Amino acid sequence: MEKPIEGEKKVFMTGNEVVAWAALAAGAEIMYGYPITPQNEIMHYWTRLAPKYGRMFLQTEDELSAGFTTIGGVMGGRRAFTATAGPGNVLMQEPMAMAEMMRLPVVVIIMQRGGPSTGTVIYSQQEVTLTTLGGNGEGFRIVYSTASNQELFDYVIKAFNTAWKYRFPTFVLGDGYQAKMREPLVIYDPEVRGISPVPAEPFLGKPGVPGVDRPPGHYRNTYNTEEELYEVIMGLARAYEAIIPEVVEFEEEAVEGAQLLVMSHGVVSRAAKSAVRALRRDGYPVGYFRPITLRPLPVEVMRRRAKEVRQILVAESAYGQFARLVKEALYGLQVEIVPLFRPGLGINPEDIYSRVQELIKGGEKGAGHIAATHA
Amino acid sequence: MKKPLKIVVAGEGGQGVQAVAEILAEAAYDEGKEVLYIPAFGVEQRGGVSLAYLQVGDEPIPAPKFEKADIVVALSGRAVRRTRQYVGPETIFIYDTHADVQEEELPKEAKRLIPIPGIEVARKELHPRVFNILIMGALIKLTSIVGLEDAKRALEKRLGHRFEKDPSLRELNYRALEKGMALVS
Amino acid sequence: MQGILQPPMPKSWRKETKPHKFCPGCGHGIALKALGQAIDELGLQGIAVFGCDIGCSLLAWDFFDLDTVQTHHGRTIPVMVGLKRARPELICIAYMGDGGGYAIGAQHLVNAATRNEKITAILINNTQYGMTGGQMAPTTLPGQKTETTPYGRDPELTGYPTQGPEMVAAITDERAYVARGTVARPGQLREFFKRALQNQIDGRGFSFVEVISACPTNWRTNAKETWEWVEKLMPTYFRVGELKVPEALRGKGVEAKDEETP
C-alpha cells in the first residue's frame, strides 16, 4: 500500500487536518473518537483518509468509551489513538488512569477549549492540570505542548514512538486555535527524517495457546493489599523517573544575561518569543523559556535558568495551572514569579511586551509570588 | 522585524466571508508569505456573524488572534457592531454602504472609514454571488499582500473546475476582482 | 482424594489459580465453569480473550488460561469492543455484573448492541452489588432488602428490576444472539454460551447472555433459601430462555442437553 506522504511536502493546513496526516504518517492503525469541538475535524479528515491506507475508525458513544476502546486497541497491539477536548477530556481521565496504572501506550490528542464546565468551544490552556495530573493517580504520563501546526505534526508522530517505547500514556496538548487555524508547514514521511516506528506489540491475543505454549497474559489494575499497590506504584515511579532525562524537551532563547525570564507553553509561547525578541531589540535584558514537555517538566534546566534571573513572568491562557507546575519545579528558589493569566483568552506579544516593560522599569515586586514559600 | 498585517473580515453567513479570507490566505501562502488564517467559531456561529482573522507577514505569526486590526471589513450592520472591538486609531475600516447601520455606530476612532457600495455594484453590474470576490479585490488593492495576478491564480486553483465548465464564470470573477480594486482607489 | 470425585475442571481453567476466590455458594463459579466448557468445546483457548469488570467479576482476572484484562467498572464492553475492532480474529468476551452492565456501563451495553459489535457480553445477575457490600442494583427485586433499601426496594421510588436481555433484544437486529440462562441449569447455560460465542465466531453480531446467579453472602441465605431464590423467585421476574437466535444458530436442542444439576 502506498505511503500517506511521500518524501516531504509544504502544505497550508489547519491543525486538525495536520493531526490526521501525522497519525497516518506515524502508522496509526485505528482511531476511536467521540465528537467534541474543537477537535472534530481530526475525525473528519481521518475518516476520509484512513480507508485509503487500510486504517480504521470507530465512533463511540462517549469519551469514556473512546478512551477504553483505545485501550482495547493498544492491548491488541495496534497503534491506536483518540482525540478530545474540554468536558471530553474530563471523561477521558478515567480510561487514562487505567492506562497509567497498566502502562498502556495510548496516544491522546487534546485540543483545549475554555472551561470550567462547557466553557467555550474555542480556546484555552485550561486543560493543563487535567492532562498532566488528571485521574486518581500520580501523573505518570508524557505530555507534549505544541505551539504551531508544524509542531502538531512533529509531536503527533513522536507521541506514538514515545508511547510504545516507554509505555506511558502520551498526550499531545494543542488548543482550539491550533485546531482551527491554517498556517504553512512541512509534512513528511517520518523515514526521510530518520524516524522509524517503534514496533507495537500485543498484550492480549499474543501468538500461541495460553497455558499450553506460554503463560496467559493476565492484566489487572486492582490490587488486594496496600503493600501490593505500593510496590506497583513505586515501580511505576522508578520507571517514570528513569526516563525523564530522555523525554524532557524545551526551547529557550536570549537567556544569556537575562534578568527576567518569560515562561510560557503551547501557542502562547509564540507571542512570548516574539515579545522577547522585540524587548531584546529595545534593550531589555529578557529571556524566553518554554517547556515542550509539561509532564515531565525539564526541571533541572528550569531551576538553572531560574537561578540566573530575578523574575519570571509566567504567561498562560489559564488562571495559574501552568504556573503551579512552574512553582513546584522551582520550589525553594528565591526567584519572584509574576503572573500574566488570561483564562480562556489568547495572549498577544503586546500583552507580554508591556507587562515586561512595566516590571523592568518599575522594578515592581508587589504582584508576584515567591516560589520559596517555605524557605 | 515587521509586524504582520492583521485583517478581520466579517459578514452574514452566505456572504462568503470565510472564502475571501481563505482564498487570500492561499494566495499569500503560494507567494511564500507567512500566513495564519482562523475563522471565529463558537456555539452561536450558525446564524451569527461570520468572522475571519487573517494575518500575513514575512516572519512567523506570533499569535492566532489580535486585539486591533490593521484592516477591518464589515459587510453587514451586525458585522459593523461585532467588529468594533478590533478597531483602533491605526485601523482602516471598510464597510458596505448597504449595511444596516446607524451613522453613530460607525467606529469614528478608525484611521480611515471607507464606505463601498459592494452589495449594490455586485447586484447591478456583476452577480450577487461574486460579491465576496469584489470585496477581495478591494482588500488586495488596499493591502498589496498579493498582486492581482496572484489573486487570479488563487481563484483559478479554487474554482478552476467550475471555470472549466463555464468559462464565463472566470470572466465574471476576474471582473469582480477588478471592480473591487477600483472601488477603493 | 477429593479431586477424584469432582468432575474435571474445564481445560481452559487455570489450575494454578484454583481454588478460586469467590465466596462459598457464589454463582460465578458455576457460570465460569459453563463458560470454560463452552470455550473448550469450541476450541477457543488460543484465540479467546477474556475481559472482566469491577465488582465480584474482577476476581476472575486470573481465572482462565486465556489472555485476560481486568478493566474499570462498567468499561469491559468498550475495552473488548476496541480490541475486537483492532483484532477481529480474536474472540472477545466481556464479563460483568448487573451494576456494571445495567447501571454505570449501560450506555456501553446499549451502544455496543445497537452497533452490532461482534463481541460476546456475559452479565451475572445476582440482584445486588456484591463486592461493595450488597447495595441495591438495577436488578434488585421489589421488596428485596439491600444495604441501600433496608426496608425493601419500593418500585414507586426506584422502579422495577431491569429487563436486560429484553432490552438488548429490542434494540438489536436479527444478527444478534440474546439469552437469559441460570446457574440452576448449567448445561443449558453452557449451550447458551456456545451459541453466543458461535455467533461471534461466525462474525455475525453482538451476543448477550444474562445469567441468573446467587449471592448467599449478601442475601444472607442458607443453601436451601439460596436455591429457592435462584430457581423459584428470580425466574418470576427474569424469564429464562433464548430471546433472540439468528437463523443460522437455530435447530439445536438446547433444552435436551440440560440433564446436569449443580
Distance CA A6, CA C86 (A): 26
Q: With CB atoms and an 8 Å threshold, state whether C82 touches A219.
A: no
Q: Is C155 domain-assigned?
A: yes
Mean pLDDT over each residue of chain B, to the nearest integer: 93
Q: What pLDDT is attached to residue A365? A: 43
For residue B134, give the 3-state DSSP assignment.
helix
For residue A372, name the pLDDT band (cuts at 50, 70, 90): very low
Name the residue facing A347 among B36, B60, B63 (closest C-beta): B63
Residue A8: the pLDDT is: 97
| H/E segment holding residue A302 | helix A299-308
A-B interface: how many C-beta pairs under 8 angstroms? 69
In chain A, which residues have their Cβ closer than 8 Å to the Cβ of B25?
12, 182
Which of A29, A69, A209, A213 should one mutate to test binding to chain C, selecting the residue with the greatest count of C CBs within 10 A? A69
Domain architecture of chain B: domains with CATH: 5-183 (3.40.920.10)
Mean pLDDT to the nearest integer, A185-194: 98
Min Cα distance B18 → chain A (Å) is 12
Q: Does A274 touch chain C (CB under 8 A)?
A: no
CB C48 within 8 A of CB C66: yes
pLDDT category, A77, cuts 50, 70, 90?
Answer: very high
- Chain C touching partners, 3 or more CB pairs below 8 A: A
pLDDT for the residue numbered A1: 74
Probe site for chain B from A41, A44, A183, A267 (most B CB atoms < 10 A) = A183
Give average pLDDT by consecutive 10-residue segment, chain B, 185 residues: 87 92 95 95 78 95 96 96 96 94 93 95 94 95 91 92 93 95 89
* Residue environment code for A214-247, b if the CB has 16+ CB neighbours within 10 A, otherwise e: eebbbbbbbeeeeeeeeeeeeebeeebeebbeeb
Angle between the N-to-C axes of helices B148-165 and B131-143, in degrees from 0 to 180, rounded to the nearest 10: 160
Q: What is the pLDDT of residue C252?
A: 59
pLDDT of residue A141: 98
From chain A, pick out residues whose CB is under 8 angstroms from the CB of B61. 183, 270
Q: Closest chain A residue to C21 measured between Cα atoms?
A: A224
Residue of B nearest to A179 (CA): B38
- Which residues of chain A are within 8 Å of residue B35 when distances are taken between CB atoms? 12, 182-184
A273 close contact with B: CB closer than 8 A: yes
- Map out the domains of chain A with their CATH numbers: 8-193 (3.40.50.970), 253-370 (3.40.50.920)
Collect all residues of chain A within an 8 Å Cβ-Cβ radius of residue B19: none
**Measuring CA to CA, which residue among C173, C70, C180 is closest to residue C122?**
C180
Q: Do B and A have ≥3 inter-chain CB pairs under 8 A?
A: yes
> Residue C68's CB: how many other CB atoms inside 10 A?
25
- Mean pLDDT calculated for residue range A351-362: 94
A11 Cβ neighbours under 8 A, 6+ residues apart = A184, A185, A186, A187
Q: Give the A window 95-134 contacts with C, CB below 8 Å.
A: 95, 98
Residue C34, in any domain of the structure: yes
N residues, chain B: 185
Residue burial A80-113, b: 16+ Cβ < 10 Å; e: rest? bbbbbbbbbbbbbbbbbbbbbbbbbbbbbbbbbb
Interface of B with A in 42-71 (CB under 8 A): 42-43, 60-67
Least confident of A125-129, C38-42, C256-260: C256-260
- C-alpha closest to that of A200 among A156, A235, A172, A162: A162
pLDDT of A308 above 60: yes
Q: Does B149 lie at the interface with A, CB-CB under 8 angstroms?
A: no
Cell numbers at B100, concatenated: 444596516
Residue B2: the pLDDT is: 67
Tens of pLDDT, residue by residue over C86-126, are: 999 999 999 999 999 999 999 999 999 999 999 999 999 99
Task: Please check whether residue C256 lies inside any domain of the structure.
Answer: no
Rounded (5°) CA angle A196-A199-A204: 165
pTM to 2 decimal places: 0.94
Q: Which amino acid is at A297?
A: L
Residue C10 covered by a domain: no
Per CB-CB distance under 8 Å, the chain C contacts of A204 are 49, 67-69, 83, 87, 90
Chains C and B touch (3+ CB pairs under 8 A): no
Q: Do A273 and B62 touch (CB under 8 A)?
A: yes
ipTM: 0.94
* Closest chain C C-alpha to A107 CA, distance in angstroms: 14
- Does A250 contact C at CB distance below 8 Å? no
pLDDT on residue C55: 94
> Is there a domain that residue C212 lies in?
yes
Establish if C11 belongs to a structural domain: no
Instruction: Find the CATH number of the domain harbouring C26.
Output: 3.40.50.970
Burial C226-252 (b: 16+ CB within 10 A, else e): bbebbbeebbebbebebbbbbeebeee
| Interface test mutation site (partner A, options C83, C90, C108, C114, max chain A beta carbons within 10 A) | C83
- Chain C hits for A70, Cβ within 8 Å: 82
Instruction: Write out the residue range of the structural domain in which residue C157 sits.
Output: 19-248
Number of structural domains chain C divides into: 1
Percent of chain C with pLDDT over 90: 92
How close does chain A come to C83, measured CA to CA in Å? 4
pLDDT tens figures, C38-51: 999 999 999 999 99
Contact between chains at B63 and A180 (C-beta distance less than 8 A): no
C23 lies in some domain: yes
- Residue C151 placed within a domain: yes
CA distance A323 to C223: 62
Contact between C58 and A220 using a beta-carbon 8 Å cutoff: yes
**A361 CB near a chain B CB, below 8 Å?**
no
